[in-house]
């Protein structure tokens, strides 16, 4: 996808210098930078759910048995 973004001149100058140093295009540098910035927001659902009950005041197994007893 193409997008138009206004980047301050001093930042663009730095981006250009780093991209040249890495021997990649400015576009590739921006793609990598965005991907790197977004990485913490890409949580694996299994990892995110692991330990979700740990702070709960009720034991998980006790809760499960109580709820199933209602069936």
Q: Is the pTM value of this prediction over 0.85?
A: no
65 pLDDT higher than 80: yes
**Under 8 Å between Cβ of 25 and 33:** no
Provide the pLDDT confidence category of residue 64 given band limits of 50, 70 and 90.
confident
Radius of gyration for the alpha carbons in the chain, expressed in angstroms and rounded: 23
Q: In this prediction, what percent of the chain has a pLDDT beyond 70?
A: 97
Distance CA(25)–CA(32), nearest Å, equals 11
Report the pLDDT value the prediction gives residue 10, as an integer from 0 to 100.
97
Residue 17, pLDDT above cutoff 80: yes
- Domain residue ranges in the chain: 9-69
**Which residue did the predictor score with more confidence, 29 or 40?**
29
């Amino acid at each position: 996808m193409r997008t138009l973004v206004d980047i301050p001149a001093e930042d663009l100058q730095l981006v250009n210098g780093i991209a040249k140093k890495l021997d990649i295009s400015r576009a590739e540098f921006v793609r990598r930078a965005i991907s790197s910035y977004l990485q913490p927001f890409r949580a694996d659902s299994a990892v995110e759910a692991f330990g979700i009950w740990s702070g709960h005041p009720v034991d998980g197994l006790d809760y499960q048995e109580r709820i199933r007893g209602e069936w």
